[in-house]
Amino acid sequence: MPIIQFPKGLKWGTATAAYQVEGAVSEDGRGLSIWDTFSHTPGKVKNGDNGDIACDSYHRYAEDVDLLHQLGVNVYRFSVSWSRIYPNGKGELNPKGVNYYHNLIDKLLEKGIEPMLTLYHWDLPQALQDDGGWANRETIDAFILYAKTVFNEFNGKVKYWQTINEPLCAAFLSNYQGVHAPGFQDLQLAVDISHHLLLAHGRTVRLFRDMRVEGEIGTATNTTWREPFSIKAEDMEACKREIGLNIDWFLDPIIKGEYPGYMVEWFKKKGAELPIKEGDLEAIHQPIDFIGVNYYSGNIARYKKDAGLLDIENIEIDYDKTYIEWPIYADGLYKVFHYLAERYGDIPLFVTENGACCIDQLSEGRVNDQDRIKYYQQHLTAVSRAIESGINITGYLAWSLLDNFEWAEGYGKRFGLVYVDFHTMERIKKDSYYWYKKVIANGWMEI
Ligand SMILES: CCOCCOc1ccc(-c2cn(C[C@@H]3NC[C@@H](O)[C@H]3O)nn2)cc1
């Protein structure tokens, strides 16, 4: 059996997000978020699922940290619920909310696990949405107040920070496709919000530097790969647009100080223009310490007139797919790494999400998820190939520690290394948990 070796200094961990695991949505002063509103709106989430209880991690965080400790990780990525800290998004601070995250972080540090804190993982306080949400530039000011509070509270304890998780989803799935909260379907709105999210990111990084907060700050970027069906220019351009919307649209302004011209023109053709004001690009263009890479899937694709936002169609050849219907395309992750390095230079890349949704059958207290193990083997091989090729990859976080609330898909789509019985909240380690534990302990894997 071939052995794939990983560098000794590679960080290993898992990731979750507040609304997907915490529950306790009305406890200890937490205010409503847009995902509370959205998930309680009939027809928005499969099976009418919502995050009211989720994995009950608000009450079971010590148990979750024990699972992390037994797994042997050295990093745990979680997000802070903005509306636990500021129930109305701004104004009165909620000390019980702050205290919850001190307890979680202290428990992690006690077990020798580095917290990676995501400031925004899609759960905008509903009170701010009522004032226009991310479409309103004043929401950026509220975010800066919230970020300043979090920096002040956890500086010195937290060493890894991420600003906004997957701005593509927060802008376009939420305001163009309408499949995520708050559920609008307006391209100009989505483009405006993508710009405001980048402004919030840039001003937060500036604040982080001005406050001399300890540690490193970075992004959490959606990434994907599209291999052109042919070398025809129209096919190659279509694939560039899909990759470009995920990566270039969000990372070019941060790292290059400008939007990708070909995408600006594309959106203009579709009737949407960027709301750039004097000084915006300078505010966004702040040096970051790492690019957070979130990767799940890729495909072969070709140009198709008027197909979706980008005039592109996937060629559904018989790739194996995960249970959420995403093709398994590990070579795409390898291509993404090289794309990022060629476009942005040697900025450290930290895989902050990668994982598989599988049909997890619990039988006699065991989940034999060989399909998930195979997915991880394939994608960790891509990580090793890239490192061997000289790409600066510093960490890898599996999505996710726990089965959790997978947004509009609800609880039926399980990504966890740990199975959660959502009736009893019992946590049951899957076979992939034991496999990942061994990879972390050994620093190598068999394929
Ligand atoms: C305009 C074109 O737009 C099409 C993009 O369509 C999608 C759909 C879904 C995703 C998607 C979903 N996930 C999993 C979550 N990541 C964060 C964590 O909370 C996980 O639950 N990652 N990416 C990306 C893009």
The mean pLDDT of 137-146, rounded to a whole number, is: 99
The mean pLDDT of 384-397, rounded to a whole number, is: 98
The DSSP-derived string for 59-126 is HHHHHHHHHHHHHT-SEEEEE--HHHHSTTSSSS--HHHHHHHHHHHHHHHHTT-EEEEEEESS--BH
Is 446 contained in some domain? no
Is 333 contained in some domain? yes
- % of the chain residues with pLDDT over 70: 100
pLDDT at 89: 98
427 phi/psi in degrees, rounded to 5: -100, 130
- The structure's pTM equals 0.98
The rounded Å distance from CA 169 to ligand 1 centre is 6
Among 81, 168, 169, name the best residue to mutate to test ligand 1's pocket (greatest count of ligand atoms within 8 A of Cβ). 169
Mean pLDDT rounded to a whole number for the chain: 98
Q: Is there an atom of ligand 1 within 6 Å of 166 CB?
A: yes
The domain of 228 spans: 3-441
Q: Catalytic residue positions?
A: 166, 353
Confidence of residue 408 (pLDDT cuts 50, 70, 90): very high
Write down the H helix ranges in 220-260.
Answer: 233-246, 248-251
Chain segment 100-126, per-residue pLDDT in tens: 999 999 999 999 999 999 999 999 999
Nearest CA to ligand 1 atom 15: 406
Is 89 contained in some domain? yes
Is 159 contained in some domain? yes
Is 303 contained in some domain? yes
pLDDT at 318: 78
What's the structural domain count of the chain? 1
The mean pLDDT of 167-183, rounded to a whole number, is: 98
Provide the CATH number for the domain around residue 407. 3.20.20.80
Is 297 contained in some domain? yes
pLDDT at 317: 82
Chain segment 312-347, per-residue pLDDT in tens: 999 978 789 999 999 999 999 999 999 999 999 999
Is 447 contained in some domain? no
Is 251 contained in some domain? yes
Q: Which atom of ligand 1 is nearest to the CA of 179?
A: 8
